Amino acid sequence: MRILKNELPNLGDKLPKENPCQHLELVEVELITLLDTLSRNGTMTVELLNIDCMEYMKGLDDNAFDLAIVDPPYGIKINMNQGRRKGDEIKHARKAWDNDAPKEDYWAELCRVSLERIVWGANNFSWIPPHNGWVVWNKDITGNVGFSKAELAYCSSINAVDMVKIRAQSGKETYSSKIHPTQKPKALYNWLLAKYAKPDQRILDTHLGSGSSAIAAHYFGCDFVGCELDEDYYKAAKHRFDTETAQKALF
């Protein structure tokens, strides 16, 4: 059972009503992680940078990060307004960032600076080595849509296929509220961090986009650096991060 920091005030509601004692051991383990996270609160840092990730990585030592969770351009000239429904105002201006995927030199740098890697869209990249470790994100979409109902991530630390079902657009994360055309849900990053990272680790996202990963990292309690090249996206992500983390800090 996992309890997120912002769920602490409602801890009682999270405990199962029937036989809560059965879960005490698990709750204890989670609470220790949680207390560890809380005690690091003053020391962990989330850095958002308006920079080309290749420039940023050039200055890093080998293995500077424990884990890179990245979502580079897939090079498929994505429809910047996918998920838009009838009546929704067109939100996202056409930009060229998805015209080309990164090349092998990106992969070489990423491997140099990180110990483990989770790479979204890896099925689009010829430089990903043959490997059995994949994460499938089932977007929980029914009916006919003009885009993928699932996405794949290469995951260096496993040797099997893992899977998670998280609704792509739910609650406040709908087309109208998205600040980025390929914005992934925070819940997806919450899940990835809980499963594949530890709160005392350093995490890198080379292609920050909307900042969903940064918000998840903030609540997870790890050190995090996110790079975003596009100034508009960077400013929007920074504003979203500042707003969302300030609101939750009131609890």
Ligand X SMILES: C[S@@+](CC[C@H](N)C(=O)[O-])C[C@H]1O[C@@H](n2cnc3c(N)ncnc32)[C@H](O)[C@@H]1O
Q: Does 186 bind ligand X (CB under 6 A)?
A: no
Q: Does 226 bind ligand X (CB under 6 A)?
A: no
Q: Does 230 bind ligand X (CB under 6 A)?
A: yes
Selected binder of ligand X within 34, 46, 57, 71 (CB under 6 A): 71
Selected binder of ligand X within 180, 202, 218, 240 (CB under 6 A): 180
Nearest to 36 by CA among 211, 222, 194, 161: 222
CB of 151 to ligand X, least distance (A): 10
Q: Which is nearer to ligand X, 223 or 228 (CB)?
A: 228
Q: Does 218 bind ligand X (CB under 6 A)?
A: no
CB of 98 to ligand X, least distance (A): 7
Q: Please tell me the distance from the alpha carbon of residue 209 to that of residue 73, in angstroms, as a whole number.
A: 10
Q: Write the DSSP assignment of 5-57 as a string of letters.
A: GGGGGGHHHHS-SS-GGGGHHHHHHHHHHHHHHHHTTTT--EEEE-S-HHHHH
Q: Which is nearer to ligand X, 73 or 199 (CB)?
A: 73
Query: By CB under 6 A, how many residues form the interface with ligand X?
Result: 20
How many other β-carbons are positioned within 10 Å of the β-carbon of residue 233?
Answer: 23
Question: Residue 223 pairs with which residues in a beta bridge?
Answer: 202
Tokens of 194: 């809980």
Stretch that binds ligand X, among 13-21, 34-42, 60-68, 201-209 (CB under 6 A): 201-209
Stretch that binds ligand X, among 83-91, 143-151, 193-201, 222-230 (CB under 6 A): 222-230
CB distance 150 to 136 below 8 Å: yes
Q: Does 210 bind ligand X (CB under 6 A)?
A: yes
Q: Tell me 140's DSSP state.
A: -
Contact letters for ligand X, residues 79-98 (x by CB under 6 A):
------------------x-
CB of 187 to ligand X, least distance (A): 11
Tokens of 31: 């609470």
Buried b (16+ CB within 10 A) or exposed e, 192-223: bbbebbbbebbbbbbbbbbbbbbbbbbbbbbb
Q: Does 190 bind ligand X (CB under 6 A)?
A: no
Q: Please tell me the distance from the alpha carbon of residue 55 to that of residue 46, in angstroms, as a whole number.
A: 19
CB of 18 to ligand X, least distance (A): 38
Q: Which is nearer to ligand X, 73 or 221 (CB)?
A: 73
Nearest to 156 by CA among 52, 57, 63: 63
Q: Does 169 bind ligand X (CB under 6 A)?
A: no
CB of 167 to ligand X, least distance (A): 15
CB of 97 to ligand X, least distance (A): 4
Q: Please tell me the distance from the alpha carbon of residue 112 to that of residue 194, in angstroms, as a whole number.
A: 24
Per CB under 6 A, residues contacting ligand X are 52-54, 71, 73, 97, 180, 182-184, 206-207, 209-210, 212, 227-230, 233
